[in-house]
Amino acid sequence: MDRRLDTEGAGITVQRALELPGLRSGLPEILAGADRLDRTVRWVHAGEVPNIASLLKGGELLLTTGYGLGTRPADQRAFVRTLADRGIAALVVELGPRFARLPAALVETARTAGLPLVQLHREVPFVTVTEEIHTEIVNGHYALLQRAEEVHRRCTQALLGGGGVPQVLAILAGFCGNPVFLETPDGQLLYAAGSGPEGADPLQVWEGLRGQHKDASPPAGSVLVDVPGGGPGTGSVRARLVMLPVRAPLAPVHRMAAERAAGVLAVVLMHARQEEELAARGRGDFLTDLAEGRITAEDAPAQARVLGFKPGDSPLLPVVMRLGDTLAPAGGAPGASPVASGGGWAVLARAVAEEVASVGVPVLLGVRPVEGRVPLLVGLRSEAERPAVADRVAAALRAGAERAGMHRPGGQPPVVVVGVAGGWAAASAGLRHAAETATAAQGLPDRPWYDARRLDIDLLLWRLRDHPDLAAFVDRAIGPLVEHDRRSKPPLLPTLQTYLANAGRKAETARELHLNRQTLYNRLARIGELLGTDLDDPQTVLALSLALRARRHVP
Segment 14-38 shows an average pLDDT of 92
Question: Which class for 266: exposed (0-12), middle (13-18), buried (19 or more C-beta within 10 A)?
Answer: buried
CATH number reported for the structural domain that contains residue 54 in this entry: 3.40.1390.20
Q: How far is CA 300 from the centre of its chain?
A: 14
Task: Return contacts of 8-11, CB within 8 angstroms, 24+ apart.
Answer: 8/40, 8/249, 8/251, 8/252, 9/140, 9/144, 9/251, 9/252, 9/253, 10/40, 10/42, 10/59, 10/252, 11/40, 11/41, 11/42, 11/43, 11/59, 11/137, 11/140
Q: Does 144 map to a domain?
A: no
The answer to whether residue 210 is domain-embedded is yes
The verdict on 371 and 284 lying in the same domain is yes
Residues 376 and 409 in one domain: yes
pLDDT for position 198: 65
Average pLDDT on 522-544 reads 88
Residue 380's nearest CA partner among 433, 314, 470 is 314
Please say if the pLDDT value at position 327 is more than 60. no
The residues, ordered by sequence, that sit 6+ positions from 235 with a Cβ below 8 Å of its Cβ are none
Element (H, E) at 178: none
Domain edge (last residue) among 462, 477, 494? 462
pLDDT band at 315 (very low <50, low <70, confident <90, very high): very high
- CATH assignment at residue 433: 3.30.70
Flag whether 147 is in a domain.
Answer: no
Distance CA 225, CA 266 (A): 12
Q: How many CB atoms lie within 10 A of CB 165?
A: 19
Asked if the structure places residue 2 within a domain, the reply is no
Q: Is the pLDDT of residue 277 over 60?
A: no
Q: Is the pTM of this model over 0.75?
A: no
How distant, in Å, are the alpha carbons of 69, 103, 113, 495 from that of 73?
A: 9, 8, 16, 101
Last-in-domain residue among 415, 440, 462: 462
| Domain harbouring 194, CATH code | 3.30.450
474 shares its domain with 429 = no
- 492 and 528 both lie in a single domain: yes
Q: Is residue 44 part of a domain?
A: yes
Task: Tell me: do 418 and 458 sit in the same domain.
Answer: yes
Indicate if 441 and 367 belong to the same structural domain. yes
DSSP-H helix ranges across 324-467: 344-357, 386-403, 424-440, 456-463
In order of 317, 320, 369, 383, 423, the CA distances from 378 in angstroms are 5, 11, 21, 11, 11
Q: Are residues 495 and 358 in the same domain?
A: no
In tens, the pLDDT along 53-62 reads 888 888 899 9
Q: Where are the alpha helices (DSSP H) in 184-312?
A: 202-206, 252-273, 276-291, 300-306
Instruction: Indicate whether 211 and 181 sit together in one domain.
Output: yes
Residue 421 pLDDT level (bands cut at 50, 70, 90): very high
C-alpha distances in angstroms, 490 versus 82, 146, 390, 483, 550? 92, 72, 38, 13, 23
Residue 207 falls inside a structural domain = yes
pLDDT tens digits, 186-232: 776 667 778 767 665 555 565 566 544 455 566 777 888 888 875 44
Structural contact between residues 48 and 65, judged by C-beta atoms closer than 8 angstroms: yes
Give a yes or no: residue 508 inside a domain: yes
Between 295-299, 411-415, 499-503, 536-540, the lowest mean confidence (pLDDT) is in 411-415
Assigned domain for 443 exists: yes
Residues 350 and 320 in one domain: yes
Whether residue 309 is found in the same domain as residue 437: yes
Do 429 and 291 sit in the same domain of this protein? yes
pLDDT tens-digit readout, 113-134: 999 999 999 999 999 899 888 8
One domain, residues 338 and 224? no
Compute the distance between CA of residue 1 and CA of residue 56 in angstroms, rounded to an integer: 28
Distance CA 169, CA 191 (A): 8
Number of domains in the chain: 4
Domain end: 273, 293, 319, which one? 273
Domain of 444 in residue numbering reads as 276-462
495: pLDDT strictly greater than 50: yes
